[in-house]
Structure 1
């Protein structure tokens, strides 16, 4: 009877103690979160319940599994102990990643809620995202190394590996030159403030918004919802346009090709009326001038401003559509026309579908 009750007591006791401790910790976090709603850290730490349960249960079993006195356990003590150790290391790494993510996300949320500069918020967001990825990678590497070192064979190999670390480092550096270049480029972007998540950029003639930045690649979401993925080293080695650098405000132009008789003063008044009724116009500036002239038309440029690239596109489209409609309805004569005249011999010019008369006079 004791052979049955002892294993049940050891395993069941470990599970019960784990559930009790995790429950107490969760209730404590709920109370602290209710008492300090301005700090989201305590609520985010509740995401660590699952890895915490695995860590506590595995640790309790690791320290008491030999108390079961089962023949199977005594025959495979080393194997069971090593398996529990591996699970404990993996669960600890899982817990560390969850906890660090909660801390980083809480810090960013508090900063974003109190900051007024949108560009600085995007910069901090880019930095904390990359920092979190670096921390996760370091934790995984350390956990994997710790798991390998639990095997005696790996400890024996460790000496020879360290002896040849210099040569292997050179070989690895040459083989992973591109990867390491992207890695350092990602860190340079994060802390050099070259490009941030949410910035509007133009790369290779494509206009879009930076959606994701990792240690090795960057994703740009275009206006038609395509995703362009490119290595981060592109942004440190080639020129690109960052429309959000120094502020998201932008100035745009709308061009009209009109007849020389176009009423410029009335067009200026109409442009001002259109902008007054446009909610996306930020009110900073506007103008309408003649920028070029040809024998048949004039080029009129309307200048408008908006708070960012997306709203600027909307403002330009509205100005173009409403101005053309107004010209068609009120001043149709101002639209470009093709002038024709009577031929020298008094005959009307031949239509395009008629062949010219090549006969000589008197034929």
Structure 2
């Protein structure tokens, strides 16, 4: 009985030691100099508690503390928990380290934003794949603790061919999505926060996982698609090389409108608008319609697609107001020739 009391007391003492380390990291080391301390405290506290308790039990437990089959069950349970806690802590520690990089990449703006989003996407997907591999290895190690299935565990760890066959037969769709996700990420065809048009819907890539992509639409709806969709179907990526977008506004107006004055007014309004990036603009007559109207197209550039959309709406409203107030005779109308 005294051995069990010592064992339980030692486990509580180990947990208390981890708690003291956590408090030290939280109170004294979190800051600009110790950027890793915060993510470690946030992600690794509970895995560290569990590992400290299980490691203490694994160290202090001795044969003979229990009797019969109970002793074998206790030893195997401690071993299984040990493997599970080490795996849990390793995954969370890896996530903590990568969180430092991801947090810094979120604040990157300007021309470096595209490269930052590419790195974020690759790190996010790679650490998920790595976690899946670590969990698979941990499951194989757990199988070694059972003599009846040790051969299966050895095969799982040593034979990638058997694993491939089993997984390929049981989860062909999931494996296809996984490979498609890796292809998308490392070919730089799709990144987090990219602006895309899919199935006629405009939105941003909100989440890119191993098996699916979440698209946040302009009206806050979410479109969830399998990753394999983006490798087998065409889609528009407006931020493939840069986030800069050129917007177009179309007008159909009477022939009597002075196009040159409209062009001057468009340029004046663009120079005063904060969303114009001061680069591209034009106003052109793109067609003459049979009903006596001209088709005008105004082009203007903006830093990103949301800015381009707002800029187009503002310029459309401004030019409509300008024509209505200055040249009302040029508004679209239906002509009838009475003979």
1:107 aligns with 2:104: no
Match for 1:328 among 320, 324, 328?
Answer: 324
1:74 aligns with 2:67: yes
After superposition, give the CA deviation of every residue in 1:3-30 in whole Å (9 maximum; x if it has no partner): 4x54323212321133124413651575
SS of the aligned residue for 1:56 comes to helix
TM-score (norm 2): 0.89
Stretches of structure 1 lacking an aligned partner (at least 5 in a row):
345-363
Q: How many angstroms does 1:233 deviate by?
A: 2.0
TM-score (norm 1): 0.83
8 Å Cα contact 1:249/1:309 also seen in 2: yes
1:86 aligns with 2:80: yes
Q: How many angstroms does 1:161 deviate by?
A: 8.3
Q: Distance in 1 between matches of 2:137 and 2:166?
A: 22
Alignment of 1:54-203 (within 5 A): 54-66=50-62, 73-75=66-68, 76-110=70-104, 117-155=112-150, 169-170=164-165, 172-174=167-169, 176-203=171-198
Q: Distance in 1 between matches of 2:163 and 2:191?
A: 35
In the alignment, which residue of structure 1 is the partner of 2:307?
A: 311
1:301 aligns with 2:297: yes
8 Å Cα contact 1:26/1:49 also seen in 2: no
Match for 1:258 among 253, 261, 269?
Answer: 253
SS of the aligned residue for 1:230 comes to strand
In the alignment, which residue of structure 2 is the partner of 1:351?
A: none
CA gap of 1:55–1:239, structure 2 versus 1, over 3 A, is: same
1:49 aligns with 2:42: no
Q: How many angstroms does 1:237 deviate by?
A: 2.7
In the alignment, which residue of structure 2 is the partner of 1:19?
A: 16
In the alignment, which residue of structure 2 is the partner of 1:356?
A: none
In the alignment, which residue of structure 2 is the partner of 1:215?
A: 210
Q: How many angstroms does 1:97 deviate by?
A: 1.1
In the alignment, which residue of structure 2 is the partner of 1:348?
A: none
After superposition, give the CA deviation of every residue in 1:340-362 in whole Å (9 maximum; x if it has no partner): 243x4xxxxxxxxxxxxxxxxxx
8 Å Cα contact 2:121/2:192 also seen in 1: yes
Q: How many angstroms does 1:153 deviate by?
A: 1.4
Is 113-122 or 141-150 further displaced after alignment?
113-122
1:274 aligns with 2:269: yes
Alignment of 1:4-43 (within 5 A): 5-24=2-21, 26-27=23-24, 30-34=27-31, 37-43=32-38
Q: Distance in 1 between matches of 2:230 and 2:319?
A: 39
Q: How many angstroms does 1:175 deviate by?
A: 5.0
Q: How many angstroms does 1:156 deviate by?
A: 5.1
